[in-house]
Chains A and B, each alone.
Chain A
């Protein structure tokens, strides 16, 4: 089975610094593979272990996104493709570029994504990919089970678990509860640099341009919490907390 896994080079929200003007400093911000995308890679590895085949990792971004493609290779993907975009891309443009890259290097039986990127968390790329490729899509998968033909998949929705059956080629997004991603060993990290990592330019792909949503401003979220630290023995502190919460009218 040929599996494609999509990974995003995402700004690490835990290391994002805020400037004195109240704006996040995105220029040069530390970025790495989106946390939940590791679950997508892990699921691809498990399916490959069960069914055989090959895994290709795809990412879209600046040349720096090589780092993220390499992370997928270190985890166990067999080859990688980095699509270098001409500028900032939104989710539809990203899906458009990945779809073009998949067509150019495919065909693939299964395309696995995570439920959303850890930085923007819109979850739009996987369903958009399915639309652009014209293939079935199953989102928010928490369990993927191969059948004699196709797959049975449990979708984790808010209050419901929906079980569906779908045939390949197929786009799947997985929830982060589906598995526990492995950590690559030092040897795997070293071996990853020997694996093929192809770089495609946006212009190489000839993808038809699409409209986009544009970020017009970004501001740090201002916390308006009181930050009252309650001191004293456990009994005193507990008593004061209960009094404070009663005064707030929430107890």
Chain B
């Protein structure tokens, strides 16, 4: 299993993306890609098969436990690279693994290149204003940006397993509950209508929601609305510290376009913006812009959509 590329995520859907990244990287050097599997958690589909890590149960699988288990497996099998999906738990797992191995760590990479003396990853920095190439020696560990790689759905044969033994967790998980707002599925939405500070009062959000509904899209917002004003739950917050989205259409309504917001939506296919300020930075990140009062333009768009149908 020398020089293999391993992939892992605690989230099944993300695990398929990371397996895609691992397959891509492994093909660069003609090595094997293996998906890590904790008895059904993060069910991977890597090109050359999977490695089942036995020991911790699904309920015990915190980032602390996962990192220790992967560390023990790395010591045993010496893979060249471990890729983990950049979810919040994944970021923790990678950082812990890097500290255990005493190696540098790539974070949130959207491209990977294997060089003889190390792994080079590209990532965004400075809230998306800069693309940085970062290099780390082998064994290399990295988190892979969500949505950056094609999902690998079907895996090869070949299942190996390794007993990592018992691992104690230093914190006690008391409970897990889904976040509120079941309607929020911004990550998979094809169209997102997003509201910002240009909205004068909370009640007016219904107008934006109604536009989103009419377009068959989901409602997002910039940080002030969820954080400072509390008009929407934080699950709607798109940005660096919120969620990252890349819909076909992103319509920014009354959003000035702070860098930290742009960082969360810059990979959208088409971006349109409505703002009263012609100098709003949001227009620089947009394909189409309308300078004007959203309270006039949004209803006009709704009428235009009705005529269209």
Contacts and interface: CB of A to CB of B under 8 A. Distances in A.
Contacts of B171: 136-138, 164-166
A39 B220 CA distance: 23
Interface stretch (B29-37, B49-57, B129-137): B129-137
Contact of A118 (B92, B95, B127, B134): B127
Contact of A213 (B134, B174, B284, B288): B134
Interface in A215-251: 215-221, 223, 225-230, 234-235, 237-239, 241-242, 244-246, 248-251
Interface in B75-132: 87-89, 91-92, 94-96, 98-100, 102-108, 120, 124-132
A161 B174 CA distance: 11
A24 interface: yes
Contacts of B136: 211-214
A127 B95 contact: yes
B98 A128 contact: yes
B127 A159 contact: no
A226 B133 contact: no
A71 interface: no
Interface stretch (B38-46, B150-158, B199-207, B292-300): B292-300
Contacts of A242: 301, 304-305, 308
Interface residues of A, number: 83
A163 interface: yes
A114 to B, nearest CB: 9
Interface in A29-72: 35-36
Contacts of A163: 173-177
B73 interface: no
Contact of B129 (A24, A159, A248): A24
A38 to B, nearest CB: 13
B241 A223 contact: no
Nearest to A138: B171
Given A124-B91, A164-B173, A221-B129, A180 B228 contact: yes
Given A13-B129, A36-B241, A246 B308 contact: yes
Chain B interface, >50% SS class: mixed
B272 interface: yes
Contacts of A120: 107, 125
Contact of B134 (A214, A228, A230): A214
A201 interface: no
Contacts of B228: 180
Interface string A112-125: 00011011111111
Nearest to B102: A210
Interface in B258-309: 258-260, 266, 269-272, 283-293, 296-297, 300-301, 303-305, 308
For chain B, which range describes its interface: under 10, 10 to 19, 20 to 34, or 35 or more residues? Answer: 35 or more
A245 B270 contact: yes
A101 to B, nearest CB: 16
A81 interface: no
Interface stretch (A88-96, A103-111, A191-199): A88-96
B184 to A, nearest CB: 9
Contact of A127 (B63, B129, B286): B63
Nearest to B115: A216
A204 interface: no
A158 interface: yes
B99 A166 contact: no
A204 B130 CA distance: 34
Contact of B131 (A139, A221, A241): A221
A87 to B, nearest CB: 14
Looking at A119, A122, A126, A215, the one whose CB has the most chain B CB atoms below 10 A away is A122
Contacts of A227: 283-284, 286-287, 289
Nearest to B216: A251
B287 to A, nearest CB: 4
A241 B290 contact: yes
A225 B103 contact: no
Nearest to A161: B177
B27 to A, nearest CB: 22
B296 A234 contact: yes
A132 B128 CA distance: 30
Interface string B216-251: 000000010011100000100000110100001100
B148 interface: no
Contact of B64 (A35, A137, A156): A137
Contacts of A216: 120, 133-135
28 contacts: A13-B127, A91-B104, A92-B102, A116-B241, A120-B107, A124-B91, A127-B95, A128-B96, A128-B99, A131-B96, A160-B178, A164-B171, A164-B172, A176-B241, A177-B226, A177-B227, A180-B228, A215-B132, A216-B135, A217-B133, A218-B131, A228-B287, A230-B288, A230-B290, A241-B301, A250-B269, A251-B215, A251-B308
Give the top 7 A-B pairs by smallest Cβ distance, nearest first.
A213-B104, A238-B300, A131-B99, A122-B107, A136-B170, A13-B126, A124-B95
Given A211-B104, A241-B301, 13 more contacts: A16-B126, A91-B104, A95-B99, A118-B260, A122-B105, A124-B94, A124-B95, A126-B95, A164-B173, A213-B105, A227-B287, A237-B300, A239-B304
